[in-house]
Amino acid sequence: MKARMTIIIVVAVMIFCFSVVAGPHVINPFALDETSKEILFYIRVPRSIVAVLMGMALGASGAVLQGMLRNPLADPYILGISSGAALAAAVGILGGFSFLGTFTVPALSFAGAIITGSIVGIMAWKKGGLWPERLLLAGVGLSFLFSALLMLLMSLSSDDGLRKAMLWIFGDLSMSDWSKIPYGCFFVATGILVATMRAKALNALILGDEFAHSLGFAPHRERVLLFVSVALMTAASVSLGGMIGFIGLLVPHIVRFFLGSDSRLLIPAAALSGGALLCIADLISRTVMPPMELPAGVITAIIGAPYFLYLLRGKNVLSR
């Protein structure tokens, strides 16, 4: 397992380095001219870092949520947090707000995500704890409500804002710059750290609250910690660049094929794999048809889903 984890780390780092120099304009890192330097440090590096952060957050929070909700179909967007973020971002884009400059839309969507996460948490709270079924249902319910409001808002909007809002919702990394990276780093790293530190408790919780209790964990306290870590990661990820499908749902499953289900390995490995996948997807999205960019979320699903189905063939995962 250690060898496989090492492979994942090495491959992820290689992909990151490659994505920085490759693209419509190939950069030779050993012979940098002024233009290349500009592109490298002001466009490519921040953009790849944002892609990695978003992908890491999605992979890790998917791994945590599937366990915490005991549902292999759970993904970070199921909690409604992303719908709240999208609604808030759309309000910002369509309303043309710019009170924080380029930071307005990320700030709005982060606020939307945190507020939605809090509502979900409050609605899932009963008898002194968070209950998995309630989290799932409250999340799905709010998700539908916010999606409906978002569609209503978009149907009433003009064409110009509409396209920008659509791009953002599909996942848009073209606006990435250094300004978003510190806060993104902070929340994603905090989330992954908290989740990895509580990975033993998560393993036990997956099998049941009473089982976790028998191993010395307080189920409700652990679930609150895990929920907060997932909410922070998801909020940070969505506010950095919108919604990216596939990673949160299927990357944890792919990693389980290779490393097993132990959350202590799964969470960091799913984070690295998610980051690497989004990095490749973003590289493809900006390279195939320049200067046009394809939505990165579409690419993750187009390359990820067939690979997942290929792996699924020979396995009896998800069997009961």
Partner 1 sequence: MSFLDSPAILETEGISFSYGKESAFIENLSFTIGQGEFIGLLGANGSGKSTLLKLGSGILKPQSGEIMLWGKPFRSYKDRDRAKLISFLPQALDFSIPFTVRELVGMGIYPYDIPPLIGIDDALDMVGLGHLGDSHISDLSGGERRRAFIAMTLLQGAGLLLLDEPLANLDIKYQIELVRLLRRLRDERNISVVMALHDINVALRFEKVMVIKGGRILGIGSPAAVLTRPVIMEAFDVLVDIKNAGERDAYISFEENY
* Interface with partner 1 in residues 64-83 (CB under 8 A): 66-67, 70-72
Q: Are 72 and 298 in contact (CB under 8 A)?
A: no
Q: Please, is 153 exposed, middle or buried when counting C-beta atoms within 10 Å of its C-beta (0-12, 13-18, 19+)?
A: middle
Counting residues that bind partner 1 (by CB under 8 A) gives: 28
Of 313 and 320, which has the nearer Cβ to partner 1?
320
Judged by beta carbon, residue 14 or residue 318, the one nearer partner 1 is 318
Taking contact as CB under 8 A, which single stretch among the options 9-17, 103-111, 175-183, 258-266 is the one that binds partner 1?
258-266
- Between the alpha carbon of residue 73 and those of residues 70, 89, 251, 259, the distances in Å are 9, 26, 12, 19
- Compute CA distances 262 → 76, 79, 225, 258, 265, whole Å: 19, 23, 18, 11, 6
Q: How far is the CB of 57 from partner 1 (least distance, A)?
A: 20
220 binds partner 1 (CB under 8 A): no
User: According to CB under 8 A, which one of 18, 131, 183, 211 is a site residue for partner 1?
Assistant: 211
Is residue 33 involved in binding partner 1 (CB under 8 A)? no
Nearest distance in Å: CB 67, partner 1: 6
Binders in 150-209 for partner 1, by CB under 8 A: 200, 203-204, 206-208
CA dist 22 → 29, 85, 170, 285 (Å): 10, 31, 23, 12
Distance in angstroms (rounded) separating the CA atoms of residues 51 and 180: 12
- Which positions lie near partner 1, rule CB under 8 A? 66-67, 70-72, 200, 203-204, 206-208, 210-211, 213-218, 256, 260-262, 316-320
